Amino acid sequence: MLIKKTSLFLMMICLSFWSLPAQAELTADEVASKVFHRDVGEDMQLQGTMELISKNGHVRTRQFISLRKDDEESRKVLIRFLSPADIKDTGFLVLENTITNKTQQHLYLPALQRTRRIVSSQMSRSFVNSDYSYEDMQRHPLSEWTYQLEKEVTLDGKKCYLLHSNAKSDTTTQYNKIISWVDKKNFMPLKSEMYDNNNKLIKTYEVVKSDSIQGIPTELIVVMENHTDQHKTRLTTLKIAYNNNLPDRFFTTRALEK
């Protein structure tokens, strides 16, 4: 009798699981939105290194600090180089308005003792001789791309969405298409391939190391590879802290020039 009751009980459990609605799969637009809006804290302070790696393996190392602050209407980013001497005190400010979808970039050059605004015609140029362009240093509004999903893939043991982002005809960009491996667990892009208007692969971005810092998934080592120049830029996070109530006065052109 006990065996029959137990069997009946197990059957009821199985039936209850079968009757649960299947979890809805996310659409491509939803995945893109979750990447764009993923939790990265209200603000961030970072100290790191930028390594410029030639095709022959020669490495030039720079030290920098970076600050970021997000609110409902904006994202602000400040980067300041500390060494070596040829780039020391160079500063970069990004002011993104999430309401108007407009972004400003300002570069401070200590040799000239002035700040200049980066204009749209300069977006494809190299940021401080790295493999990042000025375009790579800001976010595109979601509305400037269309999105498609391929089947689930695995990268370094992590289940990923394979997200295709295709530039709309009126989007100002050097990229025609970007393919991203997006971690299904936290929506961090673990790898991205950038293609030009001829569908030629020109750059690859990859997260080499990541970890949870203060409960926030964080990229610790990333590499941007330029396939045209056979050159790489490696960014390594040495120290990082989130949610320290950074003041707005840190993110102004006046502060950039100090």
pLDDT of residue 38: 96
Q: pLDDT at position 7, please?
A: 52
**DSSP designation for 133:** B
pLDDT over 80 at 16, yes or no: no
The set of residues, in sequence order, having a beta carbon less than 8 Å from that of 120 and lying 6+ positions away, is 172
Kindly report, residue by residue over 133-168, the tens digit of the pLDDT.
999 999 999 999 999 999 899 999 999 999 999 999
Q: What is the DSSP letter of 68?
A: E
Predicted confidence (pLDDT) at residue 5 exceeds the cutoff of 80: no
The whole-number pLDDT of residue 23 equals 54
pLDDT digits (tens, 9 = 90+) for 163-182: 999 999 999 999 999 999 99
Q: Is 94 helix (H, G, I), strand (E, B) or coil?
A: strand
Residue pair 197/213 in contact by the 8 Å Cβ criterion: no
What is the mean pLDDT of the segment spanning 192-211?
97
What's the predicted TM-score (pTM) here? 0.89
Q: How many CB atoms are located within 10 Å of the residue 8 CB?
A: 9
